[in-house]
Structure 1
Amino acid sequence: MDNSRRYFLTLLLLATSSISITTSADPPVVSASEPSGVSGPDYTGPSAASDECDPEMVGFELVTGYVYTAPTNMLESIPGTLMLTDCLETCQANDSCQAVNYETGLCVLFSSNADNNPGALSQSQFPVFTIYAQKSCLGVKPCERAWCIDRVQGHRLQGHTKRMVSASSRQHCLELCLGEREFLCRSANYANATKECELSDMDRLTVAGSSAFQSAKGIDYLENNCVDEPVKLCEFKKLTGRILKTVDSVYQDVGSAEECRELCLNSPFRCHSYDYGDTGDMVCRLSHHSRATLSDIQEPYLDVPEASTYELSSCYNVTIDCRAGDMVARIQTSKLFNGKVYAKGSPNSCVQDVKGALEFELRMAYDDLECNVRQQGLGRYLNDVVIQHHDTIVTSSDLGLAVTCQYDLTNKTVSNEVDLGVHGDITPALSEEVIVDSPNVAMKITDRSGSGAVPSAEVGDPLALKFEILDPNSPYEIFVRELVAMDGVDSSEIVLIDSDGCPTDHVIMGPLYKTATSGKILLSHFDAFKFPSSEVVQFRALVTPCMPTCEPVQCDQEESTGELRSVISYGRRRRRSASQSTDDLLLVQSIQITDKFGFERDGKSANSSIAKDTVFIESDSTLGMCINMGEAIVAGTVFLVAQIAIIAAWTFTWQRRRQILKHQEALSVSVSVPGMHGGMPGRADSLCKLYDAGYSRRF
């Protein structure tokens, strides 16, 4: 879309009157009635527009990216409509309305639909995509939401079929999903040729990031919009430089981005993204779409460099079951979870591994020392729980929970509460610089631009690992491979850059690239992370100088949509000539990061920062030897102070004993004068006293 089109949309949004905020306080309820088994285009029963259809049985089916073209059947065109829900309510109130076309700012009503006139439905994706909604009289009571089904033509959800049944039509298949009682049906695949209906407990959102959603000719994908998602603890990811061309709702006079976020979480549909202030001052736009649900739409976003879209990444509902002998933390998530949940003080002993689940739990017995449940007062038990997405390290996406069980011992009733915290106080990081000879290479932790060392960091802070040849006139360039992060306690480790020089997980560590200012500097972006059992993260990498240049490697990086994108990383060894015999250099760097997750502080200073300099000395072997100069200086200082203290103590003792010796010699002379006539014994006794007083014997 060009700039004039963009400004037209902005002016349209600002010219309309204020819109009242509508939210649904009650959760949607799916009726327990069974599907009729006879419905769809070939259904001879009442239509949605007839008097025989109960208004409570009317539901809408959405098809994004398609437009219905039937000029002779157009009932009304309503410009200035900024709410998809308003458009659907207008159609539902009109008995003649069978379908609508909607894009932001325009609602068009029709007296016919695409099932009766299939040739009239065609793709509409440029310059904006249109949403087509069809009204149907269902055999199962739909939920109270504005629409009950999202349909994607020519696609299916692969590999998650829970049950396969035969259905007479597409509408019959969606009714079977809405009326399913043995499991929560989130979606269905309907094969128009074979009449097969595949019911699934997964949808595009729960399997986001995988390749399960695929194109399939002759298959309709049906997604249940009546599913209740967790909304208590939600994380939104920022998508910079892009906003949706078509949204479901536009609110004006919204005071802040936080209020816009709350509107999304409490919307009358499953809201999955929002933007604020990008199309006008105090304008909040909501959509049930995100990148995971727009993979079949071409260019659904408008490129606006200064704008941002916030996409719902995942939500969690956490409940605490306080029982007689233990407390159970039960977690429900909106996206398939892979990772683990554990007691913060016992990450290895009180832990539950989770593989591809939407619901999981952690049991913590009161008498189990490994789970470290603490008692605070009479009948009050508490513990700290961490939900960790990665199997090895703690990242900014992880959650900390302070869970409490309170028992009223007088009437035996049980209550519980959950104190949830996403961000916590993080102690500053330690950074250290590694220098190697021939050429001299420095490795340090910096900000994303690589302009300066970062003295402290929090989990999730945007950082960069910087490799730099210190001599700008050096004939060498460098590449990095086998970059490993290690735990300082139990020797856990994770490979960040493999032996080929490619990142193993681009979410944790990005590819190595040359800076725009110098070809002798490599940067790799990452967000600060830590291991659950240690506050020390140690980076270890092999750095190889090459001359005159280093050859990059092509790496495949998987996008959030499941697609692979090729990126360049400077990590492949260039074939050397016989005269080039530079060995690999092992660089080691440590950083200290602690997480609090909002838990009580342990008394450590939050502002302390210690910097270390580590000098790499290359030996005959390829591994070399690292000498920590900072620690050596500290050790030397402690040694000198100890020696001075010993000398002072010895001098004091010697002076005191010397005074005592003089007094004893005086007594000895006065007593021994009569015995001196006997010769040597008196003199020998006097010498012994001198030696005992501290003089060294001479041999």
Structure 2
Amino acid sequence: MLLSMQMWRSLWLAALFCGLAHAKGSHKVHCSEDQMRVDIGLPDAESKDQSAPQIYLEGLKGYPDERCQPQIDGSLAVFRLSLSDFYECGVTRMVNQLTGKKAYYHKIIIESASSKEIVSVKCITAASPAYNVMMNATTGSSSTSSGGIHGLVKRDVLPAGFQEPEDLEITTSLTKRAPEPRLSIGVSQDGQKFTRDLTVKSGTPLTMEINLDEDSAPVYGLGVNYLDVTDTHTSSETLIFKGCTVDPYLFENFNTIDGDILSAKFKAFKFPDSSYVQFRATVNVCLDKCLGTQCSNNQVGFGRRKREISSANKVYEISLAMFLQVQDIEGVNKNEVLQLEEKLRELKLANQRLARNSRGNFAMEQTAASAQPAFVVDERELGHLSSGSGAASNGVALAVWTIVGALSWRLM
């Protein structure tokens, strides 16, 4: 009897493990310094007539890059996501500015004919020696670091005759931790958020939104420090530099009402050699609210703080990306496409000057004397200015010669 019960128990456990192995969305994450590997068990098709479920990274359905697609072997799908180049497949990186801890996360979609499941995956690394020392201290380890971290020494500062009671009764213990922020990035058109694949035509007016999750919104505020756009191959340009737009025609400054949601208007555009563009944002997460930056044309961009990163107000730096497919489909305004291509060429020239000037602390920084923000000047404007100054110089010279001639005539 006992043997029979043990046999049934073994069979039951085996069936349970087999069920878990083929359970919907069951997954395992393997983390290394440069890669996140995710093994996901795929659900079986509900019937023979139905196709196998689709599995893809959030925001990358139909994206052709094989590095962002899973390798499927039977009922097992394996993603290998780069952490050294985390933008490659849209992995989000979060860096704790106080501890140096880095967290990488993404979402995987499992879609069948009747359901859609979202699987969240995450890797955490603690790379800085200072953070390791702090962690060792909490676990009682006596390891030290050469990073100059000082220990606390107890000093006798109590008055003579003071006696501390041997037994202390703790009646209340209050512990509360701020949540880790989670950001999402998306695009809307005419106030309607995209819920399908992000495919639009060139010149379409869009709005990009970056927002905090509900738990973090009461604690933190946001500010976009940098925003780049790339075709993921050879072309890459900067749209937001230290909180301010480089070209407001292509991409305006980010604005906010409460600091929890940032939004910026832009026009859909693409590079000549690819229909996909990727926006790469570096976002500051500050306690309460990030201060805006005074940009050109008297606008405030919600990017970096007026003081640099050393401020304790900034507690996280989050890098995240979004893919957008832009196609020159039927009905597109050809004149607007040509204007966008011209603006892209101007943006490239502006970024070349930006790269040169940033080495000398350029930077759309406000000078203390004038308190006027610097901005990128279009070369055609420089041409107008130079021609105008030349005309003014010629006018002055002509006036001088007229006065000299008049004096000479009177002397005669």
**TM-score normalised to the size of structure 1?**
0.21
For CA contacts below 8 A with separation 6 or more, give which structure has more relative contact order: 2
**TM-score normalised to the size of structure 2?**
0.34
Compare CA radii of gyration and give the structure with the larger one.
1
Please state which structure has a larger fraction of its residues in helix.
2
